[in-house]
């Protein structure tokens, strides 16, 4: 049996986040099966710059279940489930939505967005990794997400890892598609058109494709007492997004 307990605190000028986590895993049937469980509790405080009277809270709970199975000496599979519940002030205190206003010179005006005070989401994923005879491996994952705001999302990811001497080469592709939240709109017909209002692009309907290339090089031993292994890593991601107000973007990262 393995377990871990953790606590993190993040402090910003207008946001404070506290999170406590607990994870437990148990190996069964000669270490061929691993069952895991995790729980996280978050206590957040939302503030607004320039408004000392504004102070809201968020209560977050995250439940995780996992099952990993060694099918053959070359094939591993895993099934994971996650339930997240949030309660409190869930929207951005600075963001606004647009509505049609014939009296405005531009034809529209703004009002603050409003989200429901509760949010519950469920996700399930199935993943597999197959080790090839020449030390390389292929992997894949399918994930389904749904919540009570009307968002349904599907994602598929495939990848290939190839080691060669001190090098490791990686390539991958990820496809993602989601529907919009029930209360999302880029432009509402009039002010206070409905109880809940949102213009956040992450709540819109969109799809994306991401291509990944990665290279890792293991440096020779440096002879340092507390540093046994050193690697240089380079990853390049190209992400193309189709949907509401979400343009193409490029991202790259280098790590040591």
Across the strands, what pairs with 224?
none
Maximal C-alpha separation, the chain: 73
Which of 4-8, 204-208, 229-233 is predicted with the least confidence, judged by mean pLDDT?
Answer: 229-233
- The pTM is what? 0.86
- pLDDT tens digits along 236-252: 999 888 854 333 344 44
- pLDDT tens digits along 46-66: 999 999 999 999 999 999 999
Say which DSSP state 188 is in.
B
Q: Residue 209 above 50 pLDDT?
A: yes
CB 23 within 8 A of CB 34: no
Confidence of residue 181 (pLDDT cuts 50, 70, 90): very high
Read off the pLDDT of each residue in 75-89 and give the average, rounded to a whole number: 98
CB 185 within 8 A of CB 201: no
- Average confidence score pLDDT of the chain: 91
- pLDDT tens digits along 86-115: 999 999 999 999 999 999 999 999 999 999
* Distinct helix (H) and strand (E) counts, the chain: 0, 14
Residue 167 CA: distances (Å) to CA of 3, 71, 84, 122: 33, 28, 39, 38
Q: Which of 105, 64, 104, 102 is nearest to 82 (CA)?
A: 64
Q: Residue 118 above 50 pLDDT?
A: yes
Q: Which of 106, 105, 83, 121 is nearest to 202 (CA)?
A: 121
CA 20/CA 73 separation, integer angstroms? 36
SS (H, E, C) the chain: CEEEEEEEEEECCCEEEEEEEEEEEEEECCCCEEEEEEEEEEEEEEEECCEEEEEEEEEEEEEEEEEEEEEECCEEEEEEEEEEEEEECCCCCCCEEEEECCCCCCCEEEEECECCCEEEEEEEEEEEEEECCCCCEEEEEEEEEEECCCCEEEEEEEEEEEEECCEEEEEEEEEEEECCCCCECCCECCCCCCCCEECCHHHCCEEEEEEEEEEEEECCCCCCCCCCCCEEEEEEEEEEEEECCCCCEEEEEEEC
More confident residue, 250 or 216: 216
Q: Residue 28 above 50 pLDDT?
A: yes
**What is the Rg, in whole angstroms, of the alpha carbon atoms belonging to the chain?**
23
């Amino acid at each position: 049996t393995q377990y871990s307990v953790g606590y993190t605190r993040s402090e910003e000028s207008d946001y404070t986040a506290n999170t406590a986590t607990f994870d437990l895993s148990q190996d069964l049937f000669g270490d061929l099966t691993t069952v895991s469980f995790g729980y996280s509790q978050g206590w957040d405080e939302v503030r607004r710059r320039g408004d000392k009277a504004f102070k809201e809270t968020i209560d977050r709970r995250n439940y995780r279940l996992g099952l990993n199975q060694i099918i053959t000496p070359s094939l591993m599979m895993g099934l994971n489930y996650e339930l997240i519940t949030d309660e409190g002030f869930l929207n951005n205190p600075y963001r606004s939505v647009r509505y049609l206003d014939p009296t405005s010179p531009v034809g529209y005006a703004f009002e603050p967005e409003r989200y429901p005070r509760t949010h519950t989401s469920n996700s399930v994923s199935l993943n597999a990794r197959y080790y090839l005879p020449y030390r390389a491996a292929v992997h894949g994952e399918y994930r389904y997400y749904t919540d009570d705001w009307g968002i349904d999302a599907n994602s598929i990811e495939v990848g290939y890892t190839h080691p060669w001497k001190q090098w490791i080469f990686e390539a991958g592709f990820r496809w993602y598609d989601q529907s919009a939240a029930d209360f999302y709109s880029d432009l509402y017909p009039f002010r206070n058109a409905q109880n809940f209002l949102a213009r956040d692009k992450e709540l819109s309907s969109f799809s994306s494709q991401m291509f990944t290339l990665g290279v890792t090089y293991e440096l020779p031993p440096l002879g340092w007492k507390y540093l046994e292994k050193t690697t240089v890593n380079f990853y390049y991601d190209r992400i193309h997004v189709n949907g509401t107000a979400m343009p193409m973007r490029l991202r790259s990262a280098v790590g040591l």
